[in-house]
Amino acid sequence: MDSPGYIVLSRLSAQMRASQLTANNLANADTPGYRASRPIFAEHVERQGRVHGPLGSANVGYTWDRASWRETQPGAINQTGNPLDVAISGPGFFVVETPRGERYTRAGRFALGADGQLLDQTGAPVLNTDSRPIALSANDTRIEIRGDGTIRSENGVLGRLRIVRFADEQALLAEGDRHISAGGQAPEEVARPQVVQGAVEGSNVQSVLEMTRMMSELREFQFATQFLEREGERQQSAVERLLRRRS
Amino acid sequence: MRSLAIAATGMLAQQTNVEVISNNLANMATTGYKRRRAEFQDLIYQNLRRVGSQSSDTGSLLPSGAQVGLGVRTAAIYRISEQGNLQQTENRFDLAIRGNGYFQIQMPSGEIAYTRDGTFALSPEGVLVTAEGFVVQPGITIPAAARDVTINASGEVMARLDAQVAPQNVGQIQTAIFANEGGLEAIGDNLFLATPGSGQPQAAAPGQPGHGTVMQGFVETSNVNTVQEITSLITAQRAYEMNSRVISASDEMLSTLTRLR
Q: Three-state DSSP class for B231?
A: helix
Smallest Cβ distance to B42: which of A68, A173, A174?
A174
Q: What is the pLDDT of residues B211-250, one digit of tens each?
A: 889 999 999 999 999 999 999 999 999 999 999 999 999 9
Give contacts of B44 with chain A, Cβ < 8 Å.
175-176
Helix axes B2-26, B226-259, angle to 10 degrees: 160
Which pLDDT does position B5 carry in this prediction? Answer: 92
Which pLDDT does position B53 carry in this prediction? Answer: 59
- A4, A7, A9, A15 alpha-carbon torsion, rounded to 10°: -130
Given a contact cutoff of 8 angstroms between Cβ atoms, the answer to whether B209 and A139 are in contact is yes
Report d(CA A230, CA A169) in Å as an integer: 43
- For residue B83, give every residue at least 6 positions away whose Cβ sits within 8 Å of its Cβ, in sequence order, or none: B98, B99, B220, B223
Contacts A–B by Cβ distance under 8 A: 207
Edge-to-edge strand ranges of the sheet holding A156-160: A144-145, A150-153, A156-160
Interface of B with A in 120-159 (CB under 8 A): none
Indicate the helix (H) or strand (E) that contains A165.
strand A163-165
Q: Three-state DSSP class for A111?
A: strand
Per-residue pLDDT at B62 exceeds 80: no
Q: Do B256 and A68 touch (CB under 8 A)?
A: no
Which pLDDT does position B161 carry in this prediction? Answer: 83
Neighbours of B178 (CB within 10 A): 24
What number is the ipTM of this complex? 0.74
- Chain centre to alpha carbon of residue A134: 28
Q: Is B38 exposed, middle or buried (0-12, 13-18, 19+ CB in 10 A)?
A: buried
Smallest Cβ distance to A141: which of B2, B182, B210?
B210
Report d(CA B33, CA B218) in Å as an integer: 15
Question: What residue of A is the nearest CA neighbor of B64?
Answer: A171
> Among B43, B64, B77, B193, which would you mutate to test the A interface (most chain A Cβ atoms within 10 Å of its Cβ)?
B64
DSSP classification of residue B242 = H
Please give chain A's pLDDT, 247 residues, in tens: 577 888 888 889 888 889 999 999 999 998 999 999 888 888 888 777 666 666 666 678 888 887 888 888 889 998 887 888 999 998 999 999 999 999 999 998 888 887 888 998 888 999 999 999 998 887 777 788 998 999 988 888 988 999 999 988 888 888 888 999 888 889 999 888 899 998 999 999 998 899 999 999 999 999 999 999 999 899 999 999 999 877 6
- For residue B154, give every residue at least 6 positions away whose Cβ sits within 8 Å of its Cβ, in sequence order, or none: B205, B206, B207, B208, B213, B214
Q: Is B199 left (phi over 0), alpha (psi -120 to 50) or beta?
A: left
Helix axes A3-27, B2-26, angle to 10 degrees: 10
Helix axes B226-259, A3-27, angle to 10 degrees: 170
Given a contact cutoff of 8 angstroms between Cβ atoms, the answer to whether B121 and B131 are in contact is yes
Given a contact cutoff of 8 angstroms between Cβ atoms, the answer to whether B232 and B25 are in contact is no
DSSP classification of residue A127 = B
Write the CA distances from A223 to A16, A97, B23, integer angstroms. 13, 48, 46
The number of helix segments (H) and strand segments (E) in chain B equals 2, 20
- Tell me the whole-structure pTM to 2 decimals: 0.81
The DSSP secondary structure of A26-63, one letter per residue, reads: HHTTTSTT---EEEEEEEEEEEPTT--SSGGGGEEEEE
